[in-house]
């Protein structure tokens, strides 16, 4: 009985463990492995709350632990990924200029390999932390979310290198590696995380289609997008999720 109340927290810690490994791979520019462990962490994140409800062992500790794990898996990892993509997008010419900037002091030794613009990517990490802190204090986000959940945002960011890796379209790669596109994506990500917009949660209290129509429509369309567009489907699914939330809310008014 005593062990049962620790099961959800163990699952949450597996989320944190997976996210920590994803950080290591993201730092090494191994985005495929980083994505794999991020997906694994998000999988654990989805099930820790479900298990806690099934076992009836929800606790304030579990809520805080869940946000701390999400901060790494869904906050730090996408920030590092965007940082790396931005640094890659600016090319060697900017990197050479930044070398002169950073190498003026041994205090910043090692930073000469990174363009100053790349650090904008960590705004995603900051916005994720702010969103998670607000979530912990908001008691209204049980059946819906205010702003894009951090796992969904993390999937949006990690999809960019996966699209380049597996779909390998010169036209798409050119767009993704445009620094201004990446800066725009960063600020869009920060806005969506903290926007005062209600988005439905994928939590099924019962399985009837009438009650969960919007969720079933979302799941079916997501599967169709993935089959047709592969990794390019991920940003399409996120956009569809936001639009479907807004549309379904307007219908219920």
Report angle CA 67, 70, 73 to the nearest 5 degrees.
160
**pLDDT value of residue 58:** 75
Written as six digits, the tokens of 34 are 């980083």
Does 140 score more than 90 pLDDT?
Answer: no
pTM score, whole prediction: 0.88
> With 0-12 CB in 10 A as exposed, 13-18 as middle and 19+ as buried, what is 37?
buried
- Confidence class for position 143, pLDDT limits 50, 70, 90: low
CB 245 within 8 A of CB 199: yes
pLDDT digits 0-9 by tens, 200-245: 887 766 667 777 888 899 999 999 999 999 999 999 999 999 999 9
**Helix (H) or strand (E) run with residue 17 in it:** helix 7-27
**pLDDT value of residue 247:** 85
Q: Which residues contact 99 (CB under 8 A, 6 or more apart)?
A: 112, 113
Q: Rounded to the nearest 10 degrees, how much is the dihedral formed by the CA atoms of 33, 157, 241, 36?
A: 10
Domain ranges of the chain: 4-252
pLDDT digits 0-9 by tens, 44-103: 998 887 777 777 777 778 788 999 999 999 999 999 999 999 999 987 444 444 444 444
Q: Cα–Cα distance between 127 and 15 in angstroms, integer?
A: 20
Lowest average pLDDT, out of 38-47, 84-93, 152-161, 181-190, goes to: 84-93
Cβ neighbours, 10 Å, residue 184? 11
**pLDDT value of residue 96:** 44
**pLDDT value of residue 90:** 87
CB 20 within 8 A of CB 77: no
CATH fit for domain 4-252, picks 1.20.120, 3.30.70, 1.25.40, 1.10.3470: 1.20.120
């Amino acid at each position: 009985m005593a062990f049962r109340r620790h099961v959800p927290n163990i699952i949450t810690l597996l989320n944190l463990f997976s996210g920590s490994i994803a950080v290591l791979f993201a730092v090494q520019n191994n985005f495929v492995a980083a994505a794999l462990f991020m997906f694994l962490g998000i999988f654990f994140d989805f099930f820790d709350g479900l298990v806690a409800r099934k076992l009836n062992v929800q606790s304030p500790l579990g809520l805080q632990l869940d946000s701390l794990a999400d901060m790494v898996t869904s906050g730090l990892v996408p920030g590092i990924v965007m940082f790396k993509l931005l640094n890659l997008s600016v090319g060697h010419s900017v990197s050479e200029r930044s070398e002169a900037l950073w190498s003026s002091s041994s205090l910043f030794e090692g930073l000469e390999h990174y363009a100053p613009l790349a650090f904008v990517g960590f705004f995603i990490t900051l916005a994720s932390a702010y969103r998670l802190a607000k979530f912990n204090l908001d008691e209204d986000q049980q059946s819906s979310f205010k702003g894009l959940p951090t796992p969904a945002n993390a999937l949006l960011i990690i999809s960019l290198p996966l699209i380049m890796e597996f779909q390998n379209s010169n036209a798409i790669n050119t767009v993704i590696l445009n620094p201004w596109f990446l800066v725009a994506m960063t600020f869009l990500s920060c806005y969506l995380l903290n926007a005062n917009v209600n988005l439905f949660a994928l939590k099924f209290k019962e399985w009837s289609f009438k009650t969960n129509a919007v969720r079933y429509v979302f799941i079916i369309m997501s599967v169709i997008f993935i089959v047709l567009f592969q990794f390019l489907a991920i940003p399409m699914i996120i956009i569809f999720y936001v639009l479907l939330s807004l549309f379904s809310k307007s219908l219920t008014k």
